Amino acid sequence: MKIIIIIVLITLTLSGFNVFSEESQSILLISVDTLRHDKIGAYGYMGVYTPWIDKLVKSGTQFETSLTTVPRTNPSFGSLFTSKKPEVNGVRSLKNTFEPFNKSMAEILEENGYYTAAITSNPLLGEKSGFAQGFQYYYNNPSDFDIMNVSSDITNKTIEIINQLQDRKFFLWVHYSDPHYPYKPPYPYDILYIEDQKKLDNPLNIYEELKNSGQIKDQLYFFNKLTDNQKNQIARFYLGTITYTDKEIGKIIKKIKELKKDKRLVTIFLSDHGESLGEHEYYYEHGDFTYEPELRIPLVFKTNAKPSIEITQTNILDILPTLQHICNLKIDNSLVFDGISLVNNKGNSKLTEREFITGESGLSFYPKNTRRFIGGIETKWRFLRTNRWKLILKPQKDGENKIYFEYELYDLLNDPCETMNLYPKQKAEIENYGKFLIKAYNSDSQSKKEKVPDELKEKLKSLGYMN
């Protein structure tokens, strides 16, 4: 069978979900940095304890196959808050700020009478990032990722805001970031998943050992020489940060219920991107490539609809159009979204599914990454994904320093871990689709070179994103 079926598809349908009648309701958006969809109990992983997230997932509409546009925080939220692809909204890397020409979700909701507040914890989401646009209250914990207990601060600030809401219709965005590397869950979550706890007086010492060994982050991410026991220990720390974050989310859910603000509340739960834990020999990082562990995210809408699971692929771009539908938001007709609403249309029980989803990697910051080279937009990996097939384009340089593309093609139905590249057998059939991606995602590759502000450059360095 020829792989041309990547584009020529039988139209599938999505049942969507029914929601509130056309009365105003408040919105709670909970996002967790670097959280893989397959490390949550309700998504089928039995090796982690996430009771509050599981309860939220099982009481809402769970989207089983949801993707981000770029597996890095700023581009991901740029897409979420505008429903526009990164090449349209201008946030294509951690170097880009969210510019005022964008109409953000917070601005739209403010214009519709919502009190808008955000409590965030990723240092790259500070006010200078531009994401405060449209929020009447914006708090960002500037701590670097190696500081523990940041989630408790986010929870306390969130509860302060909830206590002050009174009867106001609100949009509240809460962003946790503890699952970001280095994974440093506080006690007892640091030993929660360690099998032989007696041998670990101070388990987090492993990070100090790595530092003293001289193994820099580049080597750790791409040429990982840790023992299997060390890799296993770090992976279990990752699970510990998830359970710790789950506990903090539970406090918010309990406070919302205590104050009876859950009666007409739309709750959205998601992550900005996933995390690679060794797949494709890529450890404890995200953004360099476009494989499933980095792109797939959990996505849940909790409304008054009956709980359900939707298996078709959805996109982080779909959240704003879905909220427009759920909350009956008034939006200027000139504002066009790249995403689609996931809600039933009136009088129509079916929602036509998009044929495919496209996206790109982040920029690479690591000289040791031999599978990427450092440069501008033209160096990004691109992907095109249907429900079954995944095409990846990888820019490379020849001996004359000219860019050419290599391809990877995966049958996700039979090879969900993307281990068998089918491209060599199907070369002629799919190169035209590669040209489509190159044209779409290189639209501004000749634009003026970005100048990174010194302050942002230092922040990126401190977080390990620049050398």
Predicted confidence (pLDDT) per residue in 133-189, tens digit: 999 999 999 887 777 678 999 999 999 999 999 889 999 999 999 999 999 999 899
Closest CA to 77 of 47, 97, 61: 97
In terms of C-beta density within 10 A (0-12 exposed, 13-18 middle, 19 or more buried), how is residue 421 classed?
Answer: middle
Residues in Cβ contact with 200 at an 8 Å cutoff, skipping those fewer than 6 apart: 191, 194
Read off φ and ψ for residue 199, nearest 5 degrees: -85, 0
Structure tokens at 264: 């007409």
The class (CATH top level) of 3-352 is: alpha beta
| Separation CA 154–CA 248 (nearest Å) | 9
If DSSP codes are grouped into helix, strand and coil, which group holds residue 299?
Answer: strand
pLDDT in tens, 185-239: 998 999 899 876 555 567 777 887 777 776 667 778 888 888 888 899 899 999 9
Sign, Cα dihedral of 259, 260, 264, 267: positive
Other Cβ atoms closer than 10 A to 404: 9
Strand partners, 383: 359, 392
72 secondary structure, DSSP code: S
pLDDT in tens, 32-59: 999 999 999 999 999 999 999 999 999 9
Q: What is the pLDDT of residue 257?
A: 95
Closest CA to 172 of 225, 221, 114: 114
Q: What is the pLDDT of residue 154?
A: 96
Residues of the chain above pLDDT 90, percent: 57
Q: What is the pLDDT of residue 440?
A: 57
- Cα separations in angstroms, 121 against 101, 149, 155, 190: 25, 11, 10, 20
Give the angle subtended at the CA of 43 by the CAs of 315 and 326, to the nearest 5°.
45
pLDDT in tens, 396-454: 888 888 888 889 999 999 999 999 998 887 776 566 666 666 665 554 433 333 444 56
Which parts of 63-149 fold into alpha helices (H)? 73-82, 86-89, 105-111
Q: What is the pLDDT of residue 150?
A: 87
Could you tell me the maximum CA-CA distance found in the chain, to the nearest angstrom? 66
Structural domain boundaries in the chain: 3-352, 358-462
pLDDT in tens, 263-306: 889 999 999 999 999 999 999 999 999 999 999 999 999 988 88
If DSSP codes are grouped into helix, strand and coil, which group holds residue 395?
Answer: strand
- The conformational region for residue 369 under phi > 0 = left, psi -120 to 50 = alpha, else beta, is beta
Residue 7 predicted with pLDDT over 80: no
353 secondary structure, DSSP code: P
| Separation CA 192–CA 114 (nearest Å) | 40
Provide the b/e sequence for 422-453 (b: ≥16 CB within 10 Å): bbeebeeebeebbebbbeebbeeeeeeeeebe
Other Cβ atoms closer than 10 A to 341: 19
In the chain the first and final C-alpha atoms are separated, in Å, by: 46
| Separation CA 303–CA 328 (nearest Å) | 14
Q: What is the pLDDT of residue 429?
A: 57
| Separation CA 204–CA 183 (nearest Å) | 9
**pLDDT, greater one: 409 or 10:** 409
| Separation CA 53–CA 50 (nearest Å) | 6
Residues in Cβ contact with 47 at an 8 Å cutoff, skipping those fewer than 6 apart: 39, 193, 239
In contact, 391 and 407? CB cutoff 8 Å: yes
Residue 354 predicted with pLDDT over 90: no
Closest CA to 298 of 136, 74, 56, 128: 56
Q: What is the pLDDT of residue 344?
A: 64
| Separation CA 238–CA 240 (nearest Å) | 5
Q: What is the pLDDT of residue 127?
A: 85
**E strand or H helix at 315, and its extent?**
strand 308-315
